[in-house]
């Protein structure tokens, strides 16, 4: 019977109307009570909140609740949104408490929670791995970063009063892994991914245990066990299509059998050939969140950060950057791709494909409206939305020696990059020349970079004169490119006054981004001046 309450006959007679009202509020479907009085049962229920099955044996004097399950309403309630909390939101036990409170302050939501590693754990794990390569097996236990990680996680568990056994196995395994690295004297990309996975595996276990402790039933998931299937590109893997149905089946299946807030590791996946743990690139938990949003067809994806949303520029460059209230998926994707650390470069793809709004919020200031990212927005008044800086870019000027026709020339240039697996960011071409920049994130993580660059130049020199220019920056102006004349007029005014020469400019293909290339050492100043011109003077925007 839907929403029926099953009491022992005595209690039913004694408590019916008031009690059933409370029961509904607690999402209780059935309850068997042996002995006891109404007040203590209600107290137990209040504590149990979202627990589906509760077994409480109190002393004979009060009550013995044997079983309780949720209302059909609750069981039928679907998962509604994703809430992702990054390392910046999870730095300590105190922060975890606040995040739990924040999640529970939305009683109408049934969220999937995605968590990154605590604070600076990922960086520390990578450093510990690098030290293990050269420190010798006997010295692993004195690696400072290992002690830091152990201490942080054990202290957090202790302060949250959850049993440290939830992470004990992982801490042991982590030390063993570092011993293995010390013995092998090498840290491969595959081992790096296994190494950093400990961060997310531990933060989610501690958090899920804490949620359960406070009576909010939660279930921990390792993404690599629930269908996050990726390419085998360790440290920068791509999510494969098979992920969506697999994740949906796993999370929906468990939820409909036995509802509990899913707490999922961000950032991690499983390589489809290797079956080893992979990672989605730094900041990849944003992508985990949007992937889950698409897989489950959720209403909204929330990414909770330590800033009031996406800002008009990196606050580390200019502290008075302002939140941007609305963005389109295209704008957010360009912004992320061209270096705004606030979002993972690939994270907008699943959200855009499934047309699910993404909200960027501040976990330290939940009342701030944040940024809402959707398919379209009113662009009538929009000029410039945000300024993004990507540093340490390598630029190539390639001038044809006319050994090939124009189309043969372009094809040859790009086939060289394809063969070497190097991605190109910004391109500008003329009939006989091409200027382009190489994606630094793909470039500098490769050990053989100088040889590879030499090889690129060598190959290109067969058909062109090549000039390799390093230490450049891309400044991306994200906004309404329909108004490019207005934007460029203002940009060049600023740059002329500052005496800065733009070495390349690209608009064209992207409808939301104009890219300028300048020297690295002029770039920050340039961003600050452009910010002042566009966002702090009343004349535009």
Ligand X SMILES: N[C@@H](CC(=O)OP(=O)(O)O)C(=O)O
Compute the distance between CA of residue 305 and CA of residue 288 in angstroms, rounded to an integer.
15
Considering the rule CB under 6 A, would residue 122 count as an interface residue with ligand X?
yes
- ∠ CA 534-315-503, rounded to 5°: 55
Task: Pick the closer one to ligand ADP by CB: 307 or 523.
Answer: 307
Task: Pick the closer one to ligand X by CB: 404 or 445.
Answer: 445
Query: Binds 310, which of ligand X, ligand ADP, none (CB < 5 to 8 A, cut-off by type)?
Result: ligand ADP
Integer CA distances (angstroms), 442 to 113, 272, 447, 468, 493, in order:
30, 21, 11, 17, 34
The dihedral built from the CA positions of residue 251, 254, 257 and 259, taken in this order, carries a sign that is negative
Considering the rule CB under 6 A, would residue 293 count as an interface residue with ligand X?
no
Query: Binds 342, which of ligand X, ligand ADP, none (CB < 5 to 8 A, cut-off by type)?
Result: ligand ADP
Q: Provide, rounded to whole angstroms, the least separation between the CB of residue 391 and ligand ADP.
A: 12
Phi, psi angle pair for 65, to nearest 5°: -85, 120
Number of residues binding to ligand X, judged by CB under 6 A:
13
Q: Provide, rounded to whole angstroms, the least separation between the CB of residue 347 and ligand X.
A: 9
Query: Binds 298, which of ligand ADP, ligand X, none (CB < 5 to 8 A, cut-off by type)?
Result: none
Any idea which residue has 């099953």 for tokens?
A: 6
Q: Provide, rounded to whole angstroms, the least separation between the CB of residue 207 and ligand X.
A: 14
Task: Pick the closer one to ligand ADP by CB: 180 or 315.
Answer: 315
Compute the distance between CA of residue 66 and CA of residue 54 in angstroms, rounded to an integer.
7
Would you give the DSSP letter of residue 57? E
Q: Provide, rounded to whole angstroms, the least separation between the CB of residue 86 and ligand X.
A: 3
Task: Pick the closer one to ligand ADP by CB: 69 or 362.
Answer: 362
Compute the distance between CA of residue 404 and CA of residue 410 in angstroms, rounded to an integer.
9
Q: Provide, rounded to whole angstroms, the least separation between the CB of residue 425 and ligand ADP.
A: 17
Task: Pick the closer one to ligand ADP by CB: 174 or 313.
Answer: 313
Integer CA distances (angstroms), 441 to 22, 289, 423, 445, 475, in order:
55, 22, 9, 6, 16
Query: Binds 340, which of ligand ADP, ligand X, none (CB < 5 to 8 A, cut-off by type)?
Result: ligand ADP
DSSP-H helix ranges across 324-405: 329-337, 348-354
Q: Provide, rounded to whole angstroms, the least separation between the CB of residue 343 and ligand ADP.
A: 8
Phi, psi angle pair for 112, to nearest 5°: -95, 130
> How does DSSP assign 279-290, residue by residue?
E-STTTHHHHHH
Binding positions for ligand X, 196-235, rule CB under 6 A: 199
Binding positions for ligand X, 128-187, rule CB under 6 A: none
Task: Pick the closer one to ligand ADP by CB: 103 or 396.
Answer: 103
DSSP bridge pairs for 304: 85, 361
Q: Provide, rounded to whole angstroms, the least separation between the CB of residue 105 and ligand X.
A: 21
Q: Provide, rounded to whole angstroms, the least separation between the CB of residue 285 and ligand X.
A: 3
Site string for ligand X, 247-276 (x = CB under 6 A): -------------------xx---------
Considering the rule CB under 6 A, would residue 479 count as an interface residue with ligand X?
no
Considering the rule CB under 6 A, would residue 36 count as an interface residue with ligand X?
no
Integer CA distances (angstroms), 341 to 9, 151, 233, 305, in order:
61, 28, 21, 11
DSSP bridge pairs for 302: 83, 359
Report strand pairing: 81-85 vs 111-115. Answer: parallel
Task: Pick the closer one to ligand ADP by CB: 175 or 425.
Answer: 425
Task: Pick the closer one to ligand ADP by CB: 269 or 283.
Answer: 283
Residues that bind ligand ADP (CB under 6 A): 86-89, 116, 283, 305-307, 310-311, 313-316, 340-342, 386
- Asked if 6 contacts 16 with a C-beta cutoff of 8 angstroms, the reply is no
- Tokens linked to 322: 């302002």
Any idea which residue has 């409909």 for tokens?
A: 256
Query: Binds 311, which of ligand X, ligand ADP, none (CB < 5 to 8 A, cut-off by type)?
Result: ligand ADP
SS3 366: coil
Q: Which residues bind ligand X (CB under 6 A)?
A: 86-88, 116-117, 122, 199, 266-267, 282-285
């Amino acid at each position: 019977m839907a929403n029926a309450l099953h009491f022992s006959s005595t209690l039913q007679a004694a408590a019916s109307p008031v009690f059933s009202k409370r029961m509904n509020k607690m999402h209780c479907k059935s309850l068997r009570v042996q002995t006891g009085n109404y007040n203590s049962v209600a107290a137990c229920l209040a504590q149990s909140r979202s627990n589906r099955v509760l077994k409480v044996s109190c002393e004979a004097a009060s009550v013995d609740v044997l079983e309780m399950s949720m209302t059909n309403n609750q069981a039928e309630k679907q998962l509604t949104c994703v809430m992702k909390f990054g390392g910046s939101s999870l730095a300590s036990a105190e922060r975890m408490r606040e995040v739990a409170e924040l999640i529970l302050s939305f009683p109408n939501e049934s969220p999937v929670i995605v968590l990154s590693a605590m604070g600076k754990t990922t960086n520390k794990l990578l450093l510990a791995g690098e030290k293990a390569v050269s420190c010798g097996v006997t010295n692993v236990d004195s690696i400072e970063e290992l002690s830091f990680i152990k201490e942080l996680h054990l202290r957090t568990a202790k302060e949250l009063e959850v049993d440290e056994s939830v992470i004990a196995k992982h801490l042991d395994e982590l030390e063993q892994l570092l011993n293995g690295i010390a013995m092998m004297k090498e840290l491969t990309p595959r081992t790096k991914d296994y190494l950093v996975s400990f961060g997310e595996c531990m933060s989610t276990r501690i958090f899920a245990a804490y949620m359960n402790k406070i009576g909010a039933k939660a279930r921990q998931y390792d993404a690599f066990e629930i269908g996050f299937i990726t390419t085998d590109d360790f440290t920068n893997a791509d999510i494969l299509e098979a992920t969506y149905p697999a994740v949906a089946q796993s999370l929906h299946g468990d939820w409909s059998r036995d509802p509990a807030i899913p707490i999922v590791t961000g950032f991690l996946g499983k390589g489809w050939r290797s079956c080893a743990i992979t990672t989605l690139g730094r900041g990849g938990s944003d992508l985990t969140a949007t992937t889950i949003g698409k897989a489950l067809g959720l209403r909204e994806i929330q990414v909770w950060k330590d800033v009031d949303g996406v800002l008009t520029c990196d606050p580390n460059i200019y502290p008075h950057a302002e939140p941007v209230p609305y963005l389109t998926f295209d704008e957010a994707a360009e912004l992320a791709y061209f270096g705004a650390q606030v979002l993972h470069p690939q994270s907008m793809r699943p959200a855009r494909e499934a047309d699910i709004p993404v909200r960027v919020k501040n976990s330290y200031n939940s009342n701030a409206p944040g940024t809402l990212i959707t398919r379209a927005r009113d662009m009538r008044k929009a000029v410039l939305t945000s300024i993004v800086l990507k540093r340490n870019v390598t630029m190539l000027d390639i001038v044809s020696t006319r050994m090939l026709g124009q189309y043969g020339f372009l094809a040859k240039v790009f086939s060289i990059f394809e063969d070497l697996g190097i991605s190109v960011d910004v391109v500008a071409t003329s009939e006989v020349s091409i200027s382009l920049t190489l994606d630094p994130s793909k470039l500098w993580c490769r050990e053989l970079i100088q040889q590879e660059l030499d090889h690129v130049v060598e190959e290109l020199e067969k058909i062109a004169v090549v000039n390799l220019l390093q230490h450049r920056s891309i400044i991306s102006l994200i906004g309404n490119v329909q108004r490019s004349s207005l934007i460029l007029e203002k940009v060049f005014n600023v740059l002329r006054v500052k005496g800065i020469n733009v070495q390349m400019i690209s608009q064209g293909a992207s409808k939301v981004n104009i890219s300028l290339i300048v020297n690295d050492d002029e770039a920050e100043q340039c961003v600050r001046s452009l910010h002042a011109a566009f966002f702090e003077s009343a004349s535009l925007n």
